[in-house]
Amino acid sequence: MTTRDLVLTALFAAIIVALGVVPPIMLPLNVPISAQTLGVMLAGVVLGSRRGALAPVLVILLVAIGLPVLSGGRGGLAVFAGPTVGFLIGWVPGAFVTGLIAERFARRGMAALPQTLGFLAASIIGGIGVIYLFGIGYLAFGAGLGLEKAFLGSLAFIPGDVIKAAIAALAGRAVMVGYPLLPSRA
């Protein structure tokens, strides 16, 4: 791993942390939508699979040592005992899958629309699908809610996450156009 890789990984970890400072958007029934998964999607889209997955790993390490870097100022080992830890752990494979799909379907030199759609598909599959797979799985079995309750309870977050996926796709396209050497993914 080069110095550039380390700097970009740290930068996107910082972006994920900074997005935790953004106040959550409250949906009806007091359901908060935080912006941190947008940072996870951006890490995968812009950095690719390997570097993109390392950014949330770094954030999770910061959480584990007790820094309040999650939305709402949460941090510490107690976070890993909570019912939503599956979503947090899902950030790593989510960013990896997002990056992997982006590497395959949103290549440099593509026309704007197919490239943006590739980034959108990557963000939806990895940034929503994979993260929800881990999150709902833990809610259902680890927290004892049952699959149906965990799934239905998570549906309220889908609209906000689709908006975040669209933002990540547009940002990925902008980075590809504005900084053509940055997406030299490793």
CB 34 within 8 A of CB 71: yes
Convert the pLDDT of each residue in 121-139 to its tens digit.
999 999 999 999 999 999 9
- In this predicted structure, the answer to whether residue 183 has a pLDDT above a threshold of 90 is no
What is the chain's length?
186
Place of tokens 């990896």: 96
Question: Which of 47, 42, 40 lies closest to 70, judged by CA?
Answer: 40
Instruction: Work out the average pLDDT over 103-131.
Output: 93
Convert the pLDDT of each residue in 149-178 to its tens digit.
999 989 989 999 999 999 999 999 999 888
Residue 15 belongs to a domain: yes
Residue 185 belongs to a domain: no
Residue 157 belongs to a domain: yes
Question: Which residues lie closer than 8 Å to 128 by C-beta, 6 or more apart?
Answer: 37, 158, 161, 162, 165
CATH number for the domain harbouring residue 118: 1.10.1760.20
CB 58 within 8 A of CB 108: no
Residue 184 belongs to a domain: no
Residue 164 belongs to a domain: yes
Number of domains in the chain: 1
Residue 171: give the domain boundaries.
3-178
Confidence of residue 107 (pLDDT cuts 50, 70, 90): confident
Tokens of 141: 């079995």
Secondary structure element (H or E) that encloses residue 25, with its range: strand 25-27
- In this predicted structure, the answer to whether residue 26 has a pLDDT above a threshold of 70 is no
Tokens of 14: 């910082």
Residue 183 belongs to a domain: no
Residue 186 belongs to a domain: no
Give the SS3 label for residue 82.
Answer: coil
